[in-house]
């Protein structure tokens, strides 16, 4: 049935523009279908390595926890495994004009309009990025370890996440299942911020119930540094947005100064962490507006969703309130989220 669906979808899309893009998307998904194996089959196979066995057993526990404790979808997602023989599952291309933080959007049949475009082949992603560069866009190509098909298919565990820590893997599964739980067409920032909030709260609850206080303390310290780093980037994003909306002359020069100042502020922040190098590679990039598109999408409304949820584990009430906000017209939805960010009101 999956193959029939993909085939029919391809026929429908054949009349659309960007046919090459759709074909690579279908081909990439078909590759995943063809290589999937159930976790149970792998775990009973005597040739399975101890390292893979340990990771997959951990994922089984996380998957059960996600449905039983976090009220995330109970289906066959993350109950199978696929090895795609590459470091990332897809590569996402983010783009924005040179003097704007409005993302370049791509619109699709099922997902609606997204503020990025995903490719199963790195070279294809880089080619599209080069095309946008020639049109004057700032671009950023990011390797992505996992993605959600929003419940259309049973998403497998990809080999691309196995090098992560157990905590990181748990968070990623919670994040992707959150997309299956609730998704609003044409609002990437809402969807990603919601999933990120579920990820953070889910990991916290997971660690609290495992009873390993030392692990939770380490996670809390990592989260604090992560929040400080994201705050720094979001502050810079705000400065760039104010610059682009102003009447200031020489905006390109001022943009360069803001990004240079970010590097200096990060250096100071890193010193306060005792020289921690977690975010060095990210900061070594030649940063541009597209990098702040990706940061804004994943973190813009996280504080709003965290305030909506509060400090309890009543996930049913939380999801109900999220659905109420998601059903609002876009302007009202954004106003509600901004109010929550500012501590003014909640639905």
pLDDT digits (tens, 9 = 90+) for 243-298: 999 999 899 999 999 999 999 999 999 999 999 999 999 999 999 999 998 887 78
Q: What is the pLDDT of residues 81-113, one digit of tens each?
A: 999 999 999 999 999 999 999 999 887 766 678
* Residue among 285, 156, 278, 287 at smallest CA distance from 228: 278
Indicate the range of 93-102, 106-115, 149-158, 311-320 predicted with least confidence: 106-115
* 347 band by pLDDT with thresholds 50, 70 and 90: very low
Q: pLDDT above 90 covers what percent of the chain?
A: 70
For the segment 128-151, the average pLDDT, to the nearest whole number, is 93
Q: What is the pLDDT of residue 221?
A: 82
Q: 282-316 in b/e burial notation, b at 16+ Cβ within 10 A?
A: ebeeebbbbbbbbbbbbbbbbbbbbbbbeeebebe
- Mean pLDDT in the chain? 89
Q: Judge contact between 224 and 83, C-beta under 8 A.
A: no
Q: pLDDT above 70 covers what percent of the chain?
A: 91
């Amino acid at each position: 049935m999956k193959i029939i669906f993909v085939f029919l979808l391809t026929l429908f899309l054949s009349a659309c523009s960007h046919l090459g893009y759709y074909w690579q998307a279908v081909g990439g998904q078909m590759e995943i279908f063809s290589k999937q194996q159930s976790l149970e089959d792998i775990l009973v196979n005597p040739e399975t390595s101890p390292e893979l066995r340990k990771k997959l057993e951990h994922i089984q526990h996380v998957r059960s926890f996600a449905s039983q404790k976090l009220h995330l979808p109970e289906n066959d997602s993350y109950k199978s495994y696929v090895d795609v023989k590459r470091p990332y599952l897809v590569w996402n291309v983010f783009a924005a004009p040179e003097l704007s933080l409005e993302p370049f959007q791509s619109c699709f049949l099922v997902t609606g309009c997204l503020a990025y475009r995903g490719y199963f082949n790195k070279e294809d992603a880089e080619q599209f990025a080069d095309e946008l560069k020639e049109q004057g866009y700032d671009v950023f190509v990011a390797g992505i370890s996992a993605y959600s098909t929003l419940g259309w298919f049973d998403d497998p565990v990809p080999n691309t996440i196995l090098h992560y820590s157990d905590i990181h893997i748990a968070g990623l599964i919670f994040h992707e299942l959150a997309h299956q739980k609730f998704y609003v067409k044409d609002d990437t920032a809402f969807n990603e911020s919601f999933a990120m909030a579920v990820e953070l709260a889910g990991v916290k609850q997971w660690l609290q119930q495992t009873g390993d206080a030392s692990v939770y303390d380490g996670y809390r310290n990592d989260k604090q540094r992560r929040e400080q780093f994201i705050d720094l980037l979001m502050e810079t994003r705000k400065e760039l947005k104010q610059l682009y909306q102003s009447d200031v002359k020489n905006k390109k020069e001022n943009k360069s100064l803001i990004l240079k100042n970010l590097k200096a502020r990060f250096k100071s922040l890193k010193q306060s962490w005792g020289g921690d190098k977690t975010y060095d590679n990210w900061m070594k990039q030649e940063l541009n507006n597209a990098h702040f598109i990706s940061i804004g999408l994943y973190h813009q409304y996280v504080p709003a969703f965290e305030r909506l949820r509060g400090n309890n584990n009543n996930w049913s009430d939380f999801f109900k309130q999220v659905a109420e906000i998601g059903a609002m017209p876009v302007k009202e939805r954004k106003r509600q989220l901004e109010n929550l960010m500012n501590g003014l009101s909640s639905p």
